[in-house]
Structure 1
Amino acid sequence: MYIHLWSVQVVFMFSERFIRYIKFEKRYSPHTVLAYQSDLDQFFNFLNNPDKKVPAPEAVITHPSQITHHHIRNWMVEMMGDQILARSINRKIATLRKYFKFMLQEGVIEINPASKITTPKIPKNLPVIVEDTRLTAMLDENIVFSKDFAGLRDKLVMEMLFGTGMRLSELLGVKETDINAYEGTVKVLGKRNKERIIPVNNELKLLLSEYLELKKNQNFGNNSLILIVTDKGADAYSKLIYLIVQKYLSYISTQNKKSPHVLRHTFATSLLNRGADLNAIKELLGHANLSATQIYTHNSVERLKSIYKQAHPKA
């Protein structure tokens, strides 16, 4: 029996050109560049898989202009079949849109095949938070943190994420020189390489001073200027921060989601619940527009409903 094996040879030089563009001209963060590269690799691997019937087995793709919206839709169908979340699918399709838009600008293609794609709707989920009073009590009591360098480092990670609302990628990029002890601020490099200044509370200032002194006395060989480092002095990495956050949130929460972003959500919700202006929260979080910040108002409304049900005689 004759079996037609459809193989696709995508010219990877075009994706490499795109990656150089977002890395050096658009100056996207290393984390974002890596995500874009991963999305493109997954799409091209899908096209190169001979088991996929997309959409014309006899056609061998040797140029981006041969990719159609049918290829992209079939990829979406496969991802949905693999139970990949709609949010993740939309991000991957957004990568393709940006990639083909660049190809269009460069004159490599004449039609953007991603322009016809309709992405799945994302269910609106409230940001996952932890109870800030329990979190604050754990940090203030200081019982769960060991008395060595690792323990102080772990506490600083938790205090920085909850006390400033910065993203994981931003925390990993903070250098010692970004800390202004006199002004009581920390400078972070956010998305699209946009810098912003975040105030730090007095307790966090003291913790930073204590940590920096202890870090200097560790006599690490590389003398990294990155603020958060491993037990051996190497620059911290994403997995380490995740493990730290999961470990300490497990002391105060039984919810499944225990990520650095939960602390960012808790930071924003706590400010809003205590009367902070939404525009001020937007600036602290580094959001590009107010709509991204408004999601935290839903948590506040839910909190008010809960209080009403508990306290009002007619509830």
Structure 2
Amino acid sequence: MSRSDRSTRAMHQALPPALREAVDDFAEHLSRVRNRSTHTVRAYVTDLVSLFDHAVRMGCVDLAELDLSVLRSWLARQRTTGAARTSLARRAASARAFSAWAHRAGLLPADVGAALASPRAHRELPSVLRADQAAALVDGPTRRVTPTDPPPTDLPNTHGAPTKPARTGPAAEAAVPLRDRVLLELLYATGVRVSEACGLDVGDVDHGRRVIRVFGKGGRERSVPYGVPAQRALDDWLRRGRPAMVGAHSGDALLLGARGGRLNPTTARQIVGAYAEAAGLPRTSPHGLRHSAATHLLEGGADLRAVQELLGHSSLASTQIYTHVSVERLRAAYRQAHPRA
């Protein structure tokens, strides 16, 4: 447990029983009704415990006493302690979500958070790879490497060297680059989140239509197409790679880790970063490949709504940031090439 988690737990235990019960009930609502991830629920709970700790310090010991002035005072204090605009925006969203739920549940006489404003989070344009750079990254596992330049395999051991698959032998050793190749191909070909890629089961792949079934945020299901290179990588992995790495704990997982279980997103991030570094590319993450896939789709003429569906964005505003990336590229090209720029 991290220091932050321990601090949140201590503040939670110190809250009056009514406020502590409200936090627990809201967390259960997020998990069971809204089907939010464990990470999301933890973030909401952390924000809510911080809010109630501040409210108690202001003399608000009963939930019905929570009002807009308390919410604004809490955000103001967060700002004076150095919280970033993105953090303030998220915490305000947490307060509004709780307030709306508590009002519907009859715990608050009014939805006091509805009028809570928050600073607009500054959204930096995502960094993206050029198409040739993305191709170099995805092709990394197919290039033979020397013993002095080993391919990434899985989580580092205590000495920082790559670990080897639990099942030893030539077949297991050869399976690792096949796994890495299909991971990179799927991330770039489909633009899925790394957690979505690692959550894929063998049965989620429709080879005939070249479509994968993805379960995104909130358990929302969507179908995402992929291309011929990804299909070849999948065929090689399922025919020659996965059988060599499969173990007692593999289940139906499509992508496997070194010990035969489902590939962990943290490991997947390390794999992407290692291949990017080996290819001499800028620091790249799975989310960077997602950014690149979306940008290249739009630059190739894809409809914004179609890209929204592919990425699994609930709001079109989340997808529109990629149009800004394309415009920035156009402006850069204009400044470089036009004599009157």
TM-score, reference length from structure 1: 0.84
Q: Superposed, which structure 2 residues align to 1:279-294 within 5 Å?
A: 279-294=305-320
Which of these residues, 18, 41, 44, is aligned with residue 39 of structure 1?
Answer: 44
Structure 2 residue 302 is matched with structure 1 residue 238? no
**Higher mean Cα deviation, 178-187 or 144-153?**
144-153
Classify 1:237/1:223 alpha carbon distance in 2 versus 1 (closer, same or farther; 3 Å).
Answer: closer
- CA 1:79/1:10 → structure 2, altered by over 3 Å: closer, same or farther? farther
CA–CA separation in structure 2 for the residues paired with 1:109 and 1:78 = 23
Equivalent residue for 1:9? 16
Matched, 1:253 2:276: no
State how far apart, in whole Å, the 1-side matches of 2:310 and 2:192 are.
8
1:1-315 matches, cutoff 5 A? 8-11=15-18, 12-28=20-36, 30=37, 33-45=38-50, 47-48=52-53, 56=58, 59=59, 61=61, 63-140=62-139, 142-143=142-143, 145=151, 148-213=174-239, 214-250=241-277, 251-255=279-283, 258-315=284-341
Q: Is the CA contact 2:182–2:233 (under 8 Å) kept in the aligned structure 1? A: yes
How far apart, in 1, do the equivalents of 2:267 and 2:68 lie? 39
CA distances 1:151-186 after superposition (whole Å, capped 9, x unpaired): 332222222111101122322321111001111111
* Equivalent residues of 2:139, 2:181 under 8 A apart: no
C-alpha change, 1:235 and 1:116, in structure 2 (3 Å) is same
SS in 2 for 1:186: strand
Greater mean alpha carbon deviation, residues 244-253 or residues 167-176 = 244-253
Report percent identity of matched pairs: 26
Q: Which amino acid aligns with 1:216?
A: P
Kept in 2, the 8 Å contact 1:55–1:70? The answer is: no
Give the secondary structure class of the aligned counterpart of 1:89: helix
What is the Cα deviation at residue 10 of structure 1?
A: 4.9
TM (normalized to structure 2)?
0.78
Distance apart, 1:42 and its partner CA: 4.2
Whole-angstrom CA distance in 2 between matches of 1:122 and 1:228? 35
> SS at the partner of 1:83?
coil
Cα distance, 1:225–1:92 mapped onto 2, change above 3 Å: farther
Deviation at 1:128, TM superposition (A): 1.9
Give the whole-Å Cα distance in 2 for the aligned partners of 1:249 and 1:81: 39
Distance in 2, Cα, partners of 1:24 & 1:298: 37
Deviations 1:183-225 (A, max 9, x none): 1111101233221111111111111122223212324112321
Tell me how far apart the structure 2 counterparts of residues 236 and 65 of structure 1 sit (CA, whole Å). 46
Q: Which runs of 5+ in 1 are unaligned?
A: 1-6
- The answer (yes or no) to whether the contact 2:194–2:286 under 8 Å persists in 1 is yes
User: Equivalents in 2 of 1:273, 1:53: separation in Å?
Assistant: 49
Q: Secondary structure at the match of 1:294?
A: helix
Q: Displacement, 1:281?
A: 1.4
Q: Which 4+ stretches in 1 moved above 6 angstroms?
A: none
Against the structure 1 CA distance between its residues 154 and 219, is the aligned structure 2 distance closer, same or farther, given a 3 Å change threshold? closer
Q: CA deviation at 1:45?
A: 4.6
Distance 1:234 1:74 in 2: 47
CA distance in 2, matches of 1:84, 1:301: 31
* Length, aligned pairs only: 298
Rounded Cα–Cα distance in structure 2 between residues aligned with 1:310 and 1:41: 48
Q: Distance in 2 between matches of 1:53 and 1:287?
A: 34
1:140–1:299 distance in 2 versus 1, CA, 3 Å: same
Preserved CA contact (<8 Å) 1:168 1:260: yes
1:148 counterpart SS class: helix
- Alpha-carbon separation, structure 2, partners of 1:137 and 1:83: 40
CA contact (8 A) 2:204 2:212 kept: yes
